[in-house]
Amino acid sequence: MLATSALTSSNHPGDVNVSEQRAHHKAKGGFINTSPSFTDDTAILPLLKRYITETRVDATPTMEIPVMTVTAELLRNLPKNQDTVIRLGHSSIFLQVDGQRWLIDPVFSKRASPFSFAGPKRFHQPPIALTDLPSIDGVMISHDHYDHLDKASIKHLAKSVAYFVVPLGVDKHLTDWGVKPNQIHSLDWWQAHNSSGVTITATPTQHFSGRSLFDKNDTLWASYVIQSTNSSLYFSGDSGYFDGFKQIGERFGPFDLTMVETGAYDKDWATIHMTPEQSLQAHIDLQGKKMMPIHNGTFDLAFHSWYDPLNQITQLASDANIEIVTPKMGELIAVNEIHETSQWWAALANEL
């Protein structure tokens, strides 16, 4: 575990001026998206009608998704000088940087839902059980939606994890679930924490927050820039396409690996999630070297087929001569020696 004194906060976002730093804050509390092109006018009743009447094609896999088993021994024995990324499912990531073990948006529950009996159900089991994890130094949370902030996982991790890095306001959820306030480090956009040499900076996204009908946008949403001795990484969280990606690329790029949401897009919520074309453009804006498409392959959250995001981004990247990384869930990726990955979903899609 990291020593408490090793984690320090920076509230001086460098070249970000005061008006920019506060533009996404509502005067009476809560947060907003500031892009002039942002719209938030999805009509609920027509959307519900779509869910009831629209024919879905291949919304979930009919065959078992390949998952590579991860063990605590494997994670404990990773070389300390090797920065490593492992997809655990959807947007959940295991990350080792400078020998520190972190989880990003850990969701180990069966459903991404407030209910144990209803809501989006996992296509596959996590590569490692929550109870089998070795000691974890820190957890990063991008926002409070159920497919990114999982109450059961946090309550379990609260017993042993030293640090939780979250956007403003998300700390209230964590303290309600048993995380001690001194374990939580809340960040506004462009603020950073340093953890024994690993710098974690919260950066903008274009999304929203809320876990009920009555708390929309009470808490902030964020992406993360993760800088270690050996690598520079970017995790998008959830976002529509906006000019913030270029800002982040200009201030922090280039990145060895970008983990960019590529899934759950739809015409009815076009400004809060990206199409595959937009995801690839975000990677380009960020000045990424290689891209890992995330936010797919685990939950049914939109109207497209479960494999459409991966099919589209693979073709788009090939056409643009951009390297993407599509590991199986549980497959180890060494950031500075990224090996070629397979199109593991293709055989499953062809069987449908």
Reported as type and span, the H/E element at residue 273 is none
Adjacency order of strands within the sheet including 7-10: 7-10, 192-195, 198-203, 223-227, 232-235, 255-261, 288-294, 323-324
Q: List per-residue pLDDT tens for the chain, 352 residues long.
A: 343 334 444 544 446 666 677 899 999 999 999 999 899 877 788 888 998 999 999 999 999 999 999 999 999 999 999 999 999 999 999 999 999 999 999 999 999 999 999 999 999 999 999 999 999 999 999 999 999 999 999 999 999 999 999 999 999 999 999 999 999 999 999 999 999 999 999 999 999 999 998 999 999 999 999 999 999 999 999 999 999 999 999 999 999 999 999 999 999 999 999 999 999 999 999 999 999 999 999 999 999 999 999 999 999 999 999 999 999 999 999 999 999 999 999 999 875 5
CA geometry: angle 229, 171, 161, nearest 5 deg: 50
CA distance 171 to 30: 14
Q: What is the pTM of this model?
A: 0.95
Assign 349 to helix, strand or coil.
helix
